[in-house]
Chain A
Amino acid sequence: MNKIFRLSLANIRRHKKESLFLMLLIALCMMLLGGSLTAEQNIRKLFPAMMARTQAWENEISMPENEFDEQFLSYLEDDPRVTAFHVYHRITDDYMRYVTPDGKEQTFLVNFLTADEQKRAGLFEPQSTLSEAEIAAMEHPVYFSRCQKNSYHLKEGDPLTLKLGSQQFTFTVAGFFEAPWEVATRLVITDADYASLKPLLMSAAIIGFNTPEPNDADAIFEDFIQNCTETAGREPEQCYVERYIDKRGNFNTDMGFILKIIEIMAVVIILSVIVMIGSRIISDIGEQIVSIGVLEALGYRSMEISLSYAAEYFLVALAGCLAGTFGSVILYRVLIGIAEKLQGFAVSQIPGIGRLFLIFGIILLTVTLLAFRKARAVRKIPPVQAFRRGIENHHFGKSHFPLRNTKQNVHLRLALKGFADHAKQNVSLAIVVSITTIAVVLSFILSSYFGQGLNVLRSIAGHELSTVQIALMPGTDGPAFAEELASLPEIRKVLCSGSTAHFFVDVPEKHINAQADVFDDYSLTENIFPMNGRFPEHDNEIMLTKSMSAQTGRKTGDSIVLESNGVQKEYLITGLVTSLVNAETVYFTTEGYQRICPTYQPDILEIYAAEGVDLDTIHTLLDTRYGKQAANLGSGDSDAGSSYEERIRSRAAEVMSALMQQEGITQMEYSVQAGDTVISGNSSAIRIRYSSNLFDLMQTLMSTLINMISILTKLFMAIAAIVVSLILAILMESEIRRQRKDLGIMKSMGYTSRELMLQLSFRIMPPVCLAVVIGTALSVLLTKLFTGLIGVVSLNLPAILLVDVLILAFCFGCAYFNAGKIKKITVYELMTE
């Protein structure tokens, strides 16, 4: 044993640098694999941890308050599959806006609850750095969902300003409480504030229930609705269920993507390390053949020599794994930190030791076994053959690229010759470089995709993200109004759509509650891209989201039966869309949607600002031209200083808009006599109900994730570059040692160091070029696979080509740099050898 380790230590000492580089590569593997796999293990625990900490209901049925009846609850009580349930109430509004500290407004999805309601929804154990007296002194205290804290950068005592129309509500953050992660932020306010907000917002009853078998939730919901329909005599509208499994899925996808990238990187590095080790041992044996012969002549058995090689790589791998373990703990911390930042819930700061050990062992064993297997080649070398410098080490067959046919530059010719004469080494080099090219190009594609910052949202939203979305008053002629707006110079384009919040489409055999996106002509939309197939054009055509396709098992080209309010229609799926915002969306044409919902009229306009026109300008424009939005009217505080007539008109508009919204009246006229003057008007000026901007909200919610991915992909480009340079350094190092004598001879003949460096570096270029081509092709294919995960990634081919050229230049540069060792070879040392 001792003598085996002595041999391998001597070998490590003989190529210190290569051993060091190999150790670094193995350390990188260990770090990436250990970090990501242990993080994955614990990130899986994030969701259960969140559920446990918040005591939230696993599944929740949402019903508008006016549809809900206490007696419905008995159906859940009677359902044996339901282990526990409770109802709580909340108020919400899709058009609430959040005013940032610097005065900007953004859409803010919010659910308001009272403390008592929150206790029914889960736990309410508020935490605060403030004293009870301080909180008691607050006029409008609000408790904020802790996991959303990061998105809004809030702390105790900060004001929280919300707006609905022109009405402004200012709360003070009293503290935070544990609520599950949701797109809408959960706020707990005082009973008094709740009561005063309630008339302005939409109220909903939420029935939370648990069931041991998560997949039962759907059936429980259906049976529940069935029973409700029988009792009420009609199907309650706008009810839906949020299932535990969906919540869990949505919760984990972001992190899953990041982890996938890391794991792919780790696999890439491991593959290249394995290829590297294999070719290193083979070339080392070739180089050392005489010493091996001497050892054999001295009486060493070939097994002992093989073991010494295996031991050499065992030692290197051991050192690498140890270093990598530290790295993996750091990476674990970083990833868990990201997950916590993204989702607001933390898990253990310590990675799973068992899994870490397992990875450690697997890497160590793989490397050692591989080294041993390769080193068994020694068995085939008897001492005599070894002394003859292993005749088969040189092939005596065809000589490639004979110099008598040299036409070009002799250095190029010699490089080609060297390349052709080392076929085996070329294969491993090509594999390594292809793999790393995949890593670089893929990282590049992803990083330039996510590097556009939040603009990437536009391509993965799966929804139109226009400058402003306006909801129309009932009865307004959408297309005509759209045309009128589009003629304004500040507005580039206006598209008609439908307010998706009010329509749900059921796929009968699955009962998926889906929203509808409706556009006349999808080719005019800017943020909806089919990841395969094409846009729907006829009234029997639709697109589905990728997630719906998976749930229904229907693909592009299949047909599907949809159901809405009892009407069933069959549609042809023309394409699939990735949607990050709402995974359950069906994309209809206007006529297509009217087939299933005959009363549908466009009631949403997507307004696109002209080049250089900002959101505020559009808001002002809409306000001045079309008067105040209906939602802005309810304030009642008619501007002081305005004339009597203006106040009358304002009040009239207010009354009309309230009636129109509540009673579905489409056209009203009024006439008011005050003294001698008659003030009259009609409702036609009131056309805009609300305006909103979805993009803001998404920005707030997604910016952390997008930034993380962008940083990570850049990091991986760097790691891939490090791997390539390490590998090329190892390669050049051993190549130069192997050819030391030949290089000396060439120098004596008058070849300069520079020429020889060029020759050596050019020699690696044919396999590198080939590898880059293969790697690029594969990474483009891989990108297509990612489409399902992150949407349609547009490929910028010139940029990718540029990256390829950079990779080639980088490889050449690394090779040339490392070949610089040639300079140290003096002709003289050859003579005194």
Chain B
Amino acid sequence: MATVLRTEKLCKSFSNGGLQQHIIKNLDLEIRQEDFTVIMGASGSGKSTLLYALSGMDKPTLGKVWFGDAEISAYTNDQLAVFRRQNCGFVFQSIYLLESMTVFDNIMTGALVAQKNSPELIKKVESLLHKVGIAEEMWKKYPNQLSGGECQRVGIVRAVINEPKILFADEPTGSLNSASGADVLDIFTELHQKGQSIVMVTHDLKTALRGSRVLFLRDGAVTGDYEMPPYGTDDLTARRDHLQAFLDKMGW
């Protein structure tokens, strides 16, 4: 499969009170198309930092990030914004819907930044909402009138409405109970099955099982790279055991 994202000696450091803290160190990594890449690691290992460097949310301190032939690490902030609207979708742990807008408008705000309004677009939003189980009477509600799981499903629709090349997710089920978490993960699986490339950060084994490739991050470096067949094509217990074994080996 083709490579969509590639990093070259990627470094990211923060200065905390004059002290340089190196979070990502000389990382060379390739993210492939149509993979469901899961990034795992201990808390504070730099998973989120890596995800945001990959997705053009943030600029690396040193090194390069390539998206196809384009070196996005050299982009200006506004160029990065345009890059994001054209190629990336985001699902956050804290969901981050716009509180002042209705469910429908939240999605439209994401959609209209990249495309013109059209009846087809409206239809697509509606069918996606139906698909993730958001009934029509909720469309005109505001985010804090919805449950966390409902919000996250709206968040996913907002992330995929522009058919991004890559869907990024940072612990999308982190703030949900396990039932709504499973619902949300099912949507991810379904998207992946249709060919959506996904990069997801998690430290939850059940969530990681959904992936097709697991990267293990420790001290700013990828110390493990584990591949699995697509979710649902193999025996779930065996899949879990294998992944558990891999993670154990990584010292998780």
Task: Tell whether A826 is near chain B: CB-to-CB under 8 Å.
Answer: yes
Query: Nearest chain-B residue to A403 (Cβ)?
Result: B108
Residues on the A chain within 8 Å of B92, using CB: 748, 831
Task: Tell whether A510 is near chain B: CB-to-CB under 8 Å.
Answer: no
B110-141 to A contact mask, C-beta < 8 Å, 1/0: 10111001000010010000000000000011
B196 smallest CB distance to A (angstroms): 18
Query: Nearest chain-A residue to B122 (Cβ)?
Result: A404
Task: Tell whether A333 is near chain B: CB-to-CB under 8 Å.
Answer: no
The CA of A833 and the CA of B96, in the complex, are separated in Å by 11
B50 smallest CB distance to A (angstroms): 12
Q: Given A399-B140, A406-B112, A828-B52: A749 and B84 within 8 A (CB)? A: yes
Chain A interface residue count, CB cutoff 8 Å, equals: 37
Q: Are A753 and B77 in contact (CB under 8 A)?
A: yes
Q: Are B85 and A749 in contact (CB under 8 A)?
A: yes
Query: Nearest chain-B residue to A398 (Cβ)?
Result: B140
Q: Are B81 and A750 in contact (CB under 8 A)?
A: yes
The CA of A749 and the CA of B57, in the complex, are separated in Å by 10
B55 smallest CB distance to A (angstroms): 9
A763 smallest CB distance to B (angstroms): 12
Task: Tell whether B170 is near chain A: CB-to-CB under 8 Å.
Answer: yes
Most A-side CB within 10 Å, residue of B57, B82, B170: B57
Within 8 A of A (CB), among B85-103: 85-86, 88, 90, 92, 94, 96-102
Residues on the B chain within 8 Å of A742, using CB: 98-100
Q: Are A402 and B109 in contact (CB under 8 A)?
A: no
Q: Given A750-B84, A753-B78: A394 and B108 within 8 A (CB)? A: no
Inter-chain contact total with CB atoms closer than 8 Å: 105
Q: Are B99 and A827 in contact (CB under 8 A)?
A: no
The CA of A827 and the CA of B57, in the complex, are separated in Å by 6
A821 smallest CB distance to B (angstroms): 14
Most B-side CB within 10 Å, residue of A410, A746, A748: A748
B109 CB contact (under 8 Å) in A391, A746, A753, A754: A746
A715-757 to B contact mask, C-beta < 8 Å, 1/0: 0000000000000000000000000011011111111111100
Q: Are A823 and B77 in contact (CB under 8 A)?
A: yes
B167 smallest CB distance to A (angstroms): 13
Q: Are B100 and A406 in contact (CB under 8 A)?
A: no
A748 CB contact (under 8 Å) in B57, B100, B141: B57
Q: Are A831 and B86 in contact (CB under 8 A)?
A: no
Residues on the B chain within 8 Å of A832, using CB: 48
Q: Are B109 and A414 in contact (CB under 8 A)?
A: yes
Task: Tell whether B144 is near chain A: CB-to-CB under 8 Å.
Answer: yes
Residues on the B chain within 8 Å of A389, using CB: 144
Task: Tell whether A830 is near chain B: CB-to-CB under 8 Å.
Answer: yes
Residues on the B chain within 8 Å of A403, using CB: 101, 104-105, 108-109, 112, 117
Q: Given A394-B142, A746-B109, A753-B81: A827 and B102 within 8 A (CB)? A: no
Task: Tell whether A644 is near chain B: CB-to-CB under 8 Å.
Answer: no
Task: Tell whether B58 is near chain A: CB-to-CB under 8 Å.
Answer: yes
Q: Are B81 and A399 in contact (CB under 8 A)?
A: no
The CA of A832 and the CA of B49, in the complex, are separated in Å by 9
Task: Tell whether A421 is near chain B: CB-to-CB under 8 Å.
Answer: yes
Q: Are A746 and B98 in contact (CB under 8 A)?
A: yes
The CA of A301 and the CA of B18, in the complex, are separated in Å by 41
B6-17 to A contact mask, C-beta < 8 Å, 1/0: 000000000000
Residues on the A chain within 8 Å of B83, using CB: 750
Residues on the B chain within 8 Å of A755, using CB: 81, 113
Q: A394-B144, A410-B109 are in contact. List 7 more A-B contacts (CB 8 A).
A: A389-B144, A403-B109, A407-B117, A421-B100, A745-B97, A754-B78, A831-B170
> Can you identify 21 A-B contacts, CB atoms within 8 angstroms?
A389-B144, A396-B141, A396-B145, A399-B102, A402-B108, A403-B109, A406-B108, A406-B112, A407-B117, A742-B98, A747-B81, A749-B85, A750-B81, A752-B77, A752-B81, A755-B81, A755-B113, A827-B57, A827-B58, A831-B48, A831-B170
